Amino acid sequence: EIDAGRVENTATSTGTPPSGPPVESPPDTVVVPPDQASGLRTEKTGVLNDLDGDDLLDAGETITYTFVVTNTGAVTLTDVTPNDPLLTNAGISVTPGPQTLAPGGSATFTATYTPVQAEIDAGEVVNTATATGTPPSGPPVESPPDTVTVPPDQTPGLRTDKTGTLNDLDGDGLIDVGETITYSFVVANTGGVTLTNVTPNDPLLANAGISVTPGPQTLAPGGTATFTATYTPTQAEVDAGRVENTATSSGTPPSGPPIESPPDTVTVPPDQGTGLRTEKTGVLNDLDGDALIDPGETITYTFVVTNTGVVTLTDVTVNDPLLANAGLSVTPGPQTLAPGGTATFTATYTPTQAEIDAGRVENTATSTGTPPSGPPTESPPDTIVVPPDQATGMTIEKTAVLNDLDGDDLLDLGESITYSFLVENTGA
């Protein structure tokens, strides 16, 4: 009746006379209009789905919006739903769809929104929403607006990774007159906002009047840009044999002063220290399974050689006097190893009768390689005994703890001692 907008009611009255039938009055009708005022209230909240736990909005994180819409009027409202321009423009619908609300009733709607970089750069995501519903008669009603602001992470950051390559015309690994250095700067935006005017700052290049290529860049969070420049060393730098150069990079965030990356230093040519490591193993091809060298059995030696320096080594091979004296060569032949590279060499040796009688073959080997300049380098020696040391041994460490019932630190009748024995195998 409230939704219909009126209560119409007709009544008569009756009475009984002293004689005859009851009499009835003519009817009388009354129409009473109810309160048909309509109203809506929207309560909106936004929860940041904070992946990194910093309580700030970062690229890739989302906001879950919740809308609690309440019918504050006196009539039932249909087609009740939030109206959120931010979500509409992003093509996002709330869940569930339109609802019907009795007076005092409420419905909860939700939607998840992914902010764009412009909103992160702006420093906040501001979102205003209303709700609408249709009363039994008359136009739809709209709630007052409700606004939610979610702050993003606006911490800026930059990182500079600088490298320098000597354009070595004569291949000697040294700076010579007429040779140049090509510097590369990989600049990364490590912060949460877009940076403009991003460029390296290199005093060496600036003093020589050299600019990097390309010019200033704009970097979104996580983005990188590569800048390059070619530098011709001075005679003093040629004489010194090296050019040490430190650079930073700078960029401008949406608000606040420009920021600068930590410095990165490059020395050209780099450290040319050489190094080799030899790891030798020997496996007895034990035909009868007695773990002892017998006539006719052989030993397979494996040599893992690693370039532990910072320059490429050529003619890398194993030097094993035992094999050399027996006229045996390792397989494969000499190798070329880049810094950090490894090569595996093998050889099979047949022990002599004297070695069989001694019960063991002890063998030491090194490896050598030739750097781009200077004399060959040799690894420290590595020694293998086949079969391995089979000496046995044991140690025992015994302790005793008094279970001191009366706390006098003295042994009394009825008290006990707990002995512990730590036994260790010290053999092979």
Q: Which of 81, 77, 87, 78 is nearest to 69 (CA)?
A: 81
pLDDT band at 35 (very low <50, low <70, confident <90, very high): low
Angstrom distances, CA of residue 194 to CA of 61, 114, 159, 167, 254: 16, 17, 14, 35, 7
Report the CATH number of the 158-268 domain: 2.60.40
pLDDT band at 4 (very low <50, low <70, confident <90, very high): low
| pLDDT-above-70 percentage for the chain | 93
Fold match between 40-150 and 276-386? yes
> 56-65, 125-134, 161-170, 205-214 — which is least confidently predicted?
56-65
Report the CATH number of the 276-386 domain: 2.60.40
pLDDT at 170: 82
Whether residue 36 has pLDDT greater than 70: no
Q: Between these two residues, 169 and 344, which has the higher pLDDT value?
A: 344
Count of helix runs (H) and strand runs (E) in the chain: 6, 30
Cα three-residue angle 76-78-84, rounded to 5 degrees: 125
pLDDT digits (tens, 9 = 90+) for 184-198: 999 999 887 889 999
| CA atoms 287, 293, 296, 300: torsion sign | positive
Whether residue 310 has pLDDT greater than 70: no
Whether residue 177 has pLDDT greater than 60: yes
pLDDT band at 381 (very low <50, low <70, confident <90, very high): very high
Given the DSSP bridges, would you call strands 243-252 and 259-260 parallel, antiparallel or unpaired?
antiparallel
pLDDT at 388: 55
Whether residue 407 has pLDDT greater than 60: yes
> 42-46, 83-87, 366-370 — which is least confidently predicted?
42-46
Whether residue 294 has pLDDT greater than 90: no
Torsion on CA atoms 352, 354, 358, 361, rounded to nearest 10? -30
Angstrom distances, CA of residue 415 to CA of 280, 402, 410: 58, 8, 9
pLDDT digits (tens, 9 = 90+) for 95-136: 999 999 999 999 999 999 998 888 877 767 888 999 999 998
Per domain, the residue ranges of the chain are 40-150, 158-268, 276-386, 394-425
Angstrom distances, CA of residue 293 to CA of 50, 347, 350, 392: 67, 17, 10, 19
Mean pLDDT, residues 30-49: 80
Confirm or reject CATH 3.40.50 for domain 40-150, answering yes or no.
Answer: no
pLDDT at 5: 65
Residue 251: both structure tokens together: 């960029």
* 157/194 Cα distance (integer angstroms): 10
pLDDT at 175: 80
Across 385-415, b (16+ Cβ under 10 Å) vs e yields ebbeeeeeeeeeeeeeeeeeeeeeeeeeeee
| CA atoms 279, 280, 281, 285: torsion sign | positive
Mean pLDDT, residues 293-297: 88
pLDDT at 33: 62
Whether residue 270 has pLDDT greater than 60: no
Mean pLDDT, residues 141-158: 84
Whether residue 56 has pLDDT greater than 80: no
Whether residue 181 has pLDDT greater than 60: yes
Whether residue 324 has pLDDT greater than 90: yes
